[in-house]
Amino acid sequence: MSATLFPFLRTKSLSPSVLLRGAHSSRVSYAQKIQAHNNSKFKRCYSQFRSTQDRTAVGVFTPTAAAVFVVTGVGLFYYFRHEKAKLLEQRQKEMEEKSVGRAHVGGPFVLTTHDNKSFSEKDLLGKWSMMYFGFTNCPDICPAELDKIGGIVTSLEKDYGRIFQPVFISVDPARDSVPQMARYLSDFHPRILGLTGEYATVKQTCKAYRVYFSTPPNADPAGDYLVDHSIYVYLMDPRGNFVEAFGQSSTEEEVVERVRKEIGKWEAQTGKKV
């Protein structure tokens, strides 16, 4: 802060050289030189700015001070905005990386939809998905669970719109061809997407999703047999991470309530519903 710039702030008792002298005794001579220089300069300037000082004697608020104030204010505003954005980004990143207490359910897969399109785990991103594994010749549990999923999707879509993707993955690929899946699913909620594929692909997908099933690899496509399999409905978040598994005993209302809670948590963290 030079005396020529801020003459109104200078007082003899509080010159920077005095403060310097107190703090660094080794620099006394240098500081004294500066002070001597400043003082001589100050004396010259003092007379020069005397009239200015008189005018500003009412206070320290000069156009210069105002400018410094505004610049500092604007600077701080942008600084804090930047810091806040950085913090939010960090929190989001933490959430993405959060893996403690989360089951490792899910993984990469490429299967075929009931309308004969390729579908991978990446196509699930950006939506809350409900995944169920079963087969079309299932006597009673699968159709009941699929009807339950349909009811859940209907009531959730009323409030949130189409941000849900129910998926039915076949564990009986020998019999569940693409047209078979299409005919079967025409009886259920229109949003339910059927997935089937090669035995090996289905097996690998089931492994990633921790789903057990009993179909042998060489099953007769025309045979009359049942498949023993896990009957959980998985809820996955818009980033494809596992959230919860619902068993047969979970009612439609319970699942809807839980999904609402999860969307609320998600919204609090990301500012978005998906």
Where on the chain is the footprint of other proteins (CB under 8 A)? 136-137, 139-140, 143, 175, 177, 180, 183-184, 187, 221-222, 224-226
Annotated binding site for Cu cation: 138, 142, 229
Q: Which is nearer to other proteins, 159 or 220 (CB)?
A: 220
Annotated binding site: 138, 142, 229
Q: Which is nearer to other proteins, 21 or 175 (CB)?
A: 175
Least distance (Å) from other proteins to the CB of residue 187? 4
Least distance (Å) from other proteins to the CB of residue 146? 10
Q: Which is nearer to other proteins, 165 or 180 (CB)?
A: 180
Least distance (Å) from other proteins to the CB of residue 143? 6
Least distance (Å) from other proteins to the CB of residue 186? 9
Least distance (Å) from other proteins to the CB of residue 137? 7
Q: Which is nearer to other proteins, 31 or 138 (CB)?
A: 138
**CB under 8 Å to 236, separation ≥6 — which residues?**
106, 124, 128, 129, 130, 131, 242, 243
Q: Which is nearer to other proteins, 143 or 151 (CB)?
A: 143
